[in-house]
Chain A
Amino acid sequence: MSRRCSLCLGIFLLQLLSGTSLLAETVLGPLGNATGRWVPAASGQPLTRALQPAWEPGLNGSGAAGDTALKIFSIEYHHVQVPFEITLWIMLASLAKIGFHLYIKLPSIVPESCLLIIVGLIMGGIIYGVNETSPPIMSTDVFFLYLLPPIVLDAGYFMPSRPFFDNIGTILWYAVVGTLWNVFGIGLSLYGICQIESFGLKDISLLYNLLFGSLIAAVDPVAVLSVFEEIHVNEQLHILVFGESLLNDAITVVLYKLFKTFCTMPSVGLSDVFIGFIKFFLVGLGGLLVGFIYGIIAALTTRFTENIRVIEPLFVFLYSYLSYLTAEMFHFSGIVAIIACSMSMKRYVEANISQKSHTTIKYFMKMWSSVSETLIFIFLGVSTIGDKHEWSWPYVCFTMLFCLVWRAGGVIFLTFIVNKFRVNVVTKKNQFIIAYGGLRGAICFSLVFLLPNFPQKKMFTTATIVVIFFTVFVQGMTIKPLVELLEVKRTSLAPPTVSEQIHIRFLDHLLAGIEDICGHWGQYYWKDRFENFNNKYLNKLFIREQHLSKSSIVMLYQKLEKKHAIELAETGQLAGTASTASLQNEKAAEVLKRPVSPEQLDNIQELLLRNLYRIRQRMPSYNRHTLPQGKSTNQAKEIFLRRQESLLKDDVSLNSVKRRSVCLADESQKKGKLARSLTVGGYRGDENHPEMECPKFPKSISVTPQQPSTAEWINEEEPENLQTPDENGIKLKWRDENETVAESRRSGLKLKLQFASPDAIDNGSPRDGTDNGGRIPHLAPLSRQFSEQVHDRGTAQSE
């Protein structure tokens, strides 16, 4: 405990240090300019302008006298000012994050976004207090050009595409119609409020109210992400809210720009409204198109990068950022463009790049988006302090009220309609979470700063900030307890019995399996069509041609194989001794009727809770702080390996008199992922050919090399001519000494990897033919992350 305290103290001291250095800049900055004023380079450093709008360019002529003398020790601060300050802000943000996570309980009570805003508020307050001027405000340029793209890119790249496309209709429905509903609802009702004499707001016209409505109505992806991560809702709900928050950007952009233009125009005619209507489609579809084009170019580029692997990650980031900037240039929706770009390039890029580039991309994305998000919230806090506020009780309160009311009404109404078309209805509880989870965030904030200067701007700013704070703090903090409260109400009061728990989990797994068999894609037909098209044309175009490359395969193989073989070997040795219940049908049922004590019952419940395998689909796949692998991948691997073992054990005991011999590797082209599989399996050896004394091989082994090649399992007694110099022996032996396999003592596997040319396979096939009806068991590879399709074509022969 004391260690933790000292750690915390250390962190806070560091924060204080960075904070004071920031303060020092504000004081030091003007003084440090020995040469007088500094000129922020116009386009090169928007940040300087952004961060210090209130600071006078330095004191002219101070210290000019001392210019020519040689100094022993001098400080020239302005030279490094800009990068220094940027780094210090980022450092502050990151240290704050460390500080929060030291208290494990804290992020679960207060979402991180709130804490960061508080830190920003403190910083802003300090700067304001010392400097007597407004602290640096995050300029909209900085926000939209530098801070927002990494977050959206991260979201788009890791977007789980299956639930997204399953629910795309609903998401679009909520995003488009919902946003329109909210904008017009809030704008019109605020206009109605303004008409009331006693509030003194009569001067705000309808257009201004609509403009305000358009910027306050949109749900913010950053805030939604940061809050929803804590509450772990199911996948469908998460994707609905999250997808909506991303896609409503297109609508927001159009409406905001439209109303802004209308505000400056003297009169608005019908043709202008019509043009505005057309702009909707243009913005959305244009963004989509731009994103796709860049995604395709990126996929093509990575096809040729095999000789310069180190810059592969760069392409992903560069192309995505370019797509964002291009879309912004044309006034399309940049967010939609980035999402389209990352989703379309993902599968081809992942097939082309190396494993290390892959990891690099993921980690960098997480890092950048994390930093961006932190900075956004801190700046939000900092920028609140200042003199740009004008408080107006009725306006602010009614804004907040209307935001809540219209959001709730909108969700209920829209869900009512959309449930008629969905088979998987959005339940009332989900509706509540969708409505309550409509958080506003930094996008509204930046948009309000982008407004042209008109008299009510300050009031709008205040109202926006209040709404943002309310949603982030109040809604963000209370959503988790509310969700839990709702869940508790639904379940029955009695805790489930042990058998209920087991059977329920059993049924869940069963249902998941049946749904997999049915193929539970909503638009399965189109998905199929797309996959076929993809395989025939797109893969050939975008994915590098496969060629023999031995080293990476071998390394990958070794890693998988050793682990698997060791496990198998150990299990094999145990199989002879331990009595596995899986095979004994005649074993008498032993009935132990001892009553289970309460503590034992508690233990059992806890055991079940912790250790039952989770259903594959329902696990949340999105995580802010780590890469989306983790437990689900390990669970999948474990289940998979255990099934291999059990298959093997079944084989061992049931085929006691059949010999096995080597089988060949199979070169197979899988749909989508051009991964090769190296398989080994047993097939029936003919007992009349004792010269083919074949060792037993494990049932199937999988590997996912990037570049496939052919490989051959070689019998130890193979004639020498088939061994080529580049064999790679993984020295694990697998011998079967006894014919009655029940007693087999396996000491390991011996596999010789030999990379042979395809015609060696043909040469090998006569061996196949001599044996009676052997089918080659063939294990398709697990994808690189073991998370996508796992194929397992086992033997069709049943004993």
Chain B
Amino acid sequence: MGLHSSHLSKIDNLTEIMEETGFSKSHIGRLYHRFQGLDESNSGSLSRADFQRIGGLAVNPLGERIINAFFPDRRDTVDFRSFIRILACFRPVRMVKSPDPLSPEPINSRDNKLRFAFQLYDQDRDGKISRDELYQVLFMMMEAEVTEDQLDNIIDRTIQEADQDGDGTISFEDFKKSLEKVNLEHKMSIRFLQ
């Protein structure tokens, strides 16, 4: 659409972004438009408040965590480059018959998607999901009437199923293994961007 051309000219490093993320020009243009729409103060970067204004996130049980994922390292703002880099993780995967082993792993590979999800669990970034972190996430996702005992049961079962090395926490490998049957490419891809 012609409307995007005016936006595209404002984006710096367009080709770099395209290479890094794998998005097409029109997608980048659309996401830039969205970025600008969220950025009410027109400052060129988004703050937490801008994210919190999104309606759907407020009633999403994981809303806060998702927002935090955009602000790593205690930063307060996110510019367009970082914004689109994170979103690139959710680009739908196009199946390649024989992936070139030498090229760098694309940003939306299955591994990277899993890593992103893992980081949402693992708040203290120690590479493992502790029982505590699991409890927190589960607590957010279950309705309020579930008691602590029931939650404990569920957590025990989860750790028991996943934990391979027996240390009581779920490492990234365990996490990957427990999700090997899930069609991740479908579940973690934004459906309208291809």
User: A residues bordering B, Cβ < 8 Å?
Assistant: 423-424, 492, 497-500, 502-520, 522, 524-525, 528, 581-582, 584-585, 587, 589-596, 600-601, 603-604, 607-608, 611-613, 616, 635-636, 638-640, 642-643, 646-647, 780, 788-796, 798
Name the contact of A596 in the complex, choosing from B153, B192, B194 (C-beta under 8 A).
Answer: B153
Bound state CA distance, A794 and B58, in angstroms?
A: 10
Bound state CA distance, A638 and B61, in angstroms?
A: 10
Q: How far is the CB of A417 from chain B (nearest CB, A)?
A: 18
Assuming A507-B187, A585-B132, A796-B49, what are 11 further A-B pairs, CB within 8 angstroms?
A: A507-B117, A508-B187, A513-B62, A517-B66, A524-B30, A524-B33, A525-B33, A590-B168, A600-B153, A642-B140, A794-B52
For B74, list chain A residues within 8 Å (CB).
Answer: 798
| B56 adjacent to A616 (CB under 8 Å) | yes
Bound state CA distance, A676 and B187, in angstroms?
A: 38
Nearest-neighbor residue (CB-CB) of B60 within chain A: A513
| A517 adjacent to B57 (CB under 8 Å) | yes
| B156 adjacent to A639 (CB under 8 Å) | no
Of A514, A522, A607, A791, most buried by chain B (CB within 10 Å of CB) is: A514
For B131, list chain A residues within 8 Å (CB).
Answer: 589-591
Render B121-160 as a binary contact track against A, CB cut-off 8 A, 1 for contact. Answer: 1001000001110011111111111100010111011111
- Size category of the binding interface on chain B: 35 or more
Question: Does B82 interact with chain A (Cβ within 8 Å)?
Answer: no
Q: How far is the CB of A421 from chain B (nearest CB, A)?
A: 12
For B193, list chain A residues within 8 Å (CB).
Answer: 423, 518
Given contacts A589-B168, A616-B60, contact A596 B156 (CB under 8 A): yes
For B30, list chain A residues within 8 Å (CB).
Answer: 524-525
Question: Does B18 interact with chain A (Cβ within 8 Å)?
Answer: no
| B52 adjacent to A793 (CB under 8 Å) | yes
Question: Does B94 interact with chain A (Cβ within 8 Å)?
Answer: no
For B96, list chain A residues within 8 Å (CB).
Answer: none
For A788, list chain B residues within 8 Å (CB).
Answer: 55
Render B183-194 as a binary contact track against A, CB cut-off 8 A, 1 for contact. Answer: 010011111111
| B34 adjacent to A790 (CB under 8 Å) | no
Nearest-neighbor residue (CB-CB) of B86 within chain A: A514
Nearest-neighbor residue (CB-CB) of B92 within chain A: A423
Name the contact of B156 in the complex, choosing from A502, A511, A516, A594 (C-beta under 8 A).
Answer: A594
Q: How far is the CB of B119 from chain A (nearest CB, A)?
A: 11
For B19, list chain A residues within 8 Å (CB).
Answer: none
The 10 closest A-B pairs by CB, nearest first: A516-B56, A591-B168, A789-B55, A636-B59, A790-B58, A513-B66, A792-B58, A499-B158, A611-B143, A792-B52
Nearest-neighbor residue (CB-CB) of A516 within chain B: B56
Question: Does B10 interact with chain A (Cβ within 8 Å)?
Answer: no
| A522 adjacent to B55 (CB under 8 Å) | no
Question: Does B63 interact with chain A (Cβ within 8 Å)?
Answer: yes
Nearest-neighbor residue (CB-CB) of A528 within chain B: B37
Name the contact of A518 in the complex, choosing from B31, B139, B146, B194 (C-beta under 8 A).
Answer: B31
For B49, list chain A residues within 8 Å (CB).
Answer: 793-796
Bound state CA distance, A512 and B56, in angstroms?
A: 8
| B141 adjacent to A502 (CB under 8 Å) | yes
For B181, list chain A residues within 8 Å (CB).
Answer: 492, 500
Of B124, B132, B169, most buried by chain A (CB within 10 Å of CB) is: B132
